[in-house]
């Protein structure tokens, strides 16, 4: 599906097919009771939201059937092929690579494999108030959000040039040989992702991974994220959009005591209000403040946006690429319709991503030296940028005040590359309204906020009504 020049190298390995769900012979013929929705999967067999009371035996049986189907659907992989061009630069979260030499390919491999890969899991403790012991089939956007936050935490806690020392263990066949020579070697998913217990991954790295564990006490695990989503009218098995996930991540970081000196800011109406960021990071810097300075907190900026109507507006393509070139960018959560992905780079017109649609057994992260291999991926995947769903959330990280000022400047330049009259989002000096997701622009609590560039008018020259906004 990818367009490749004759000199393009081939990568062959276990994982998701390019631009597709985890392969299954029957995936084009899902059961009639498995409704699909935007970026997610149905909340019940009739597509309606289930009652809030305790699930009965019928609900439990339905959940088991859905789980069994999804475990098959997302639990198998077949041989697939990803092609890389040796003559075009490849961008990965601010790093640039030219895959025409083994040293450069090895550098790319180390950086790619070191990103945290968070996927569907099965057989974890029951999600409170539900029958779910897996997020398989419905939690893909939550997993993408976890990966976005994990990248921000990697930048917050580890050196800028950090790579996972044991990354080589994920590659049974030398990746550099396949990429540079163009010779593909067949490799199945079990061999590609076999756990190697007892391998050290570094204290901070291991502790960071444990925060995303699949148990109720993990601060950024699915259990905690689902619980925090309840205040927005969401529950286990519901659809989650990139905007609502941004607010869930904000709440999770604000709630935990495990992460220090870090705040999360979610943009309102496609606008980053600088004064609000300062208020989060060091309120003593505000004019007239009497609070003592405790130093500037690092900050993760999350910006929910919509890059078109029903499909991606091509005018924003260069802007998306330029954002992914920035070192301060920690990725984009979005994907394509009904299929959430975590975008981390691009080459030519292809986006590079990590795919959460792979169902793995739960790992007990409370044990010493738990295996880390299933939290890292050695299979790069790409999809054409034109297939990107317009609803997404873009993430950035700034370690200190100087970095934040630099971020505002560099991102503003990247936003100017859009051919569209209205930028994706803007930075302003003032202060926004003091509301959370639930009160945003009068949107009911069970619906995410609209995301449309501020000041954009309809053809009649008037601000659009609520019905004219596109909801996630």
This prediction has a pTM of 0.75
Maximum mean pLDDT: which of 77-91, 143-157, 272-286: 143-157
Residue 300 lies in a domain: yes
Residue 5 has pLDDT above 80, yes or no: no
119: tokens are: 């996927």
CB 184 within 8 A of CB 81: yes
Q: Which of 136, 140, 328, 377 is catalytic?
A: 140
Q: What is the mean pLDDT of the chain?
A: 76
Q: How confident is the model at residue 441 (pLDDT cuts 50, 70, 90)?
A: very low
For 84, the 3-state DSSP assignment is strand
Q: Which of 357, 376, 377, 389 is catalytic?
A: 357
Q: If DSSP codes are grouped into helix, strand and coil, which group holds residue 245?
A: helix
**How crowded is the C-beta side of 61, counted as CA atoms within 13 Å?**
3
Q: Is residue 50 part of a domain?
A: no
Residue 3 domain-assigned (yes or no)? no
Among 128-137, 309-318, 447-456, the least confident range: 447-456
Angle at 333 between CA 330 and CA 338, to 5 degrees: 165
> Poorest-confidence range of 128-142, 275-289, 342-356?
275-289
Q: Looking at residues 39-66, what average pLDDT do you find?
A: 51
Measured CA distances, 181 to 98, 170, 441, 470 (Å)? 14, 20, 55, 46
**pLDDT tens for each residue of 151-204:** 999 999 999 899 998 887 775 333 333 343 333 323 333 333 333 333 333 699
Does residue 450 surpass a pLDDT of 60? Answer: no
Q: What percent of the chain has pLDDT over 70?
A: 67
Q: What average pLDDT score do residues 38-59 get? A: 46
Asked if residue 2 is part of any domain, the answer here is no
Return the closest-CA partner of residue 95 out of 303, 352, 341.
Answer: 352
pLDDT (0 to 100) of residue 60: 62
Could you tell me the CA-to-CA distances from 98 to 101, 103, 169, 191 in Å, in that order?
8, 10, 24, 28
Q: Give the model's confidence band at 216: pLDDT under 50 very low, under 70 low, under 90 confident, else very high.
A: very high
Per-residue pLDDT band at 336 (split at 50, 70, 90): confident
In this predicted model, what pLDDT tens digit does every residue of 248-307 receive, in sequence order? 999 999 999 999 999 999 999 999 999 999 999 998 887 766 676 678 999 999 999 999
Which residue in the list 18, 166, 238, 355 is annotated as catalytic? 355
Q: What is the extent of the structural domain holding 220?
A: 9-18+34-45+62-468
Reply yes or no on whether 270 is catalytic. no
Query: Is 26 considered catalytic here?
Result: no
Q: Is the pLDDT of residue 321 over 80?
A: yes
H or E segment at 343? Answer: strand 339-347
427 falls within a domain: yes
| Residue 47 pLDDT > 50 | no
**Does residue 432 sit within a domain?**
yes
Any catalytic annotation for residue 377? no
Which among 263, 268, 236, 205 has a CA at the least distance from the CA of 430? 268
Does position 14 have pLDDT exceeding 80, yes or no? no
Specify which residues 271 forms β-bridges with.
Answer: 268, 426
Which sign does the torsion angle of CA 33, 356, 78, 386 carry?
A: positive
Look at residue 190 and give its three-state secondary structure.
helix
Number of domains into which the chain is organized: 1
pLDDT at 82 over 90: no
Least confident of 58-72, 296-310, 382-396, 458-472: 458-472
- State the pLDDT confidence band at 83, using cuts at 50, 70 and 90: confident
Domain contains 338: yes
pLDDT score for 32 = 32
Could you tell me if residue 27 is inside a domain? no
The whole-number average pLDDT for the span 441-445 is 32
Separation of alpha carbons 137 and 51, rounded Å: 20
How confident is the model at residue 396, as a pLDDT?
98
């Amino acid at each position: 599906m990818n367009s490749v020049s004759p000199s393009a190298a081939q990568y062959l390995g276990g994982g998701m097919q390019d631009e597709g769900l985890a392969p299954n012979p029957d995936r084009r013929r899902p059961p009639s009771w498995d409704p699909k929705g935007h970026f997610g999967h149905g909340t019940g067999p009739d597509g309606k939201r289930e009652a809030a009371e305790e699930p009965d035996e019928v609900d439990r049986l339905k959940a088991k059937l859905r789980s069994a189907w999804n475990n098959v659907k997302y639990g198998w992989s077949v041989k697939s092929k990803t092609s890389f061009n040796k003559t075009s630069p490849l961008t990965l979260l601010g790093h640039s690579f030219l895959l025409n030499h083994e040293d450069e390919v090895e550098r790319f491999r180390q950086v790619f494999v070191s990103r945290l890969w968070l996927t569907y899991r099965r057989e974890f403790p029951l999600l409170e108030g539900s029958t779910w012991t897996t997020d398989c089939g419905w939690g893909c956007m939550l997993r993408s959000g976890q990966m976005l936050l994990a990248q921000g935490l990697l930048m917050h806690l580890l050196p800028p040039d950090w790579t996972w020392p044991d990354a080589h263990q994920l590659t049974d066949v030398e990746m550099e040989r396949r990429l540079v020579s163009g010779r593909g070697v067949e490799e199945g998913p079990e061999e590609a992702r076999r756990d190697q217990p007892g391998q050290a991954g570094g204290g901070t790295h291991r502790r960071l991974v444990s925060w995303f564990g699949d148990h109720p006490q993990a601060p950024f695990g699915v259990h905690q994220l689902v619980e925090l989503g309840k205040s927005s009218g969401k529950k286990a098995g519901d659809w989650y959009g990139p905007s609502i996930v941004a607010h869930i991540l904000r709440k999770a970081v604000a709630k935990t005591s495990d992460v220090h000196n870090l705040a999360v800011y979610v943009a309102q109406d496609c606008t980053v209000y600088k004064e609000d960021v300062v208020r989060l990071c060091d309120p003593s810097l505000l004019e007239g403040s009497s609070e003592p300075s405790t130093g500037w907190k690092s900050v993760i900026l999350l910006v929910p946006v919509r890059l078109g109507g029903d499909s991606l507006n091509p005018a924003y393509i260069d802007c998306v690429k330029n954002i992914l070139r920035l070192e301060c960018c920690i990725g984009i959560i979005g994907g394509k319709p009904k299929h959430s992905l975590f975008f981390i780079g691009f080459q030519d017109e292809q986006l590079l991503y990590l795919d959460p649609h792979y169902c793995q057994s739960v790992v007990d992260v409370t044990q010493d030296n738990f295996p880390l291999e299933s939290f890292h991926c050695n299979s790069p995947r790409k999809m054409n940028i034109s297939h990107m769903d317009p609803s997404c959330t873009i993430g950035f990280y700034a370690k200190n005040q100087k970095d934040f000022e630099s971020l505002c400047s560099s991102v503003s330049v990247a936003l100017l590359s859009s051919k569209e009259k209205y930028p994706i989002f803007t930075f302003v000096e003032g202060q926004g309204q003091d509301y959370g997701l639930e009160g945003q622009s009068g949107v009911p609590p069970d619906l995410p906020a609209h995301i449309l560039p501020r000041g954009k008018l309809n053809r009649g020259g008037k601000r659009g009504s609520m019905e004219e906004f596109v909801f996630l």
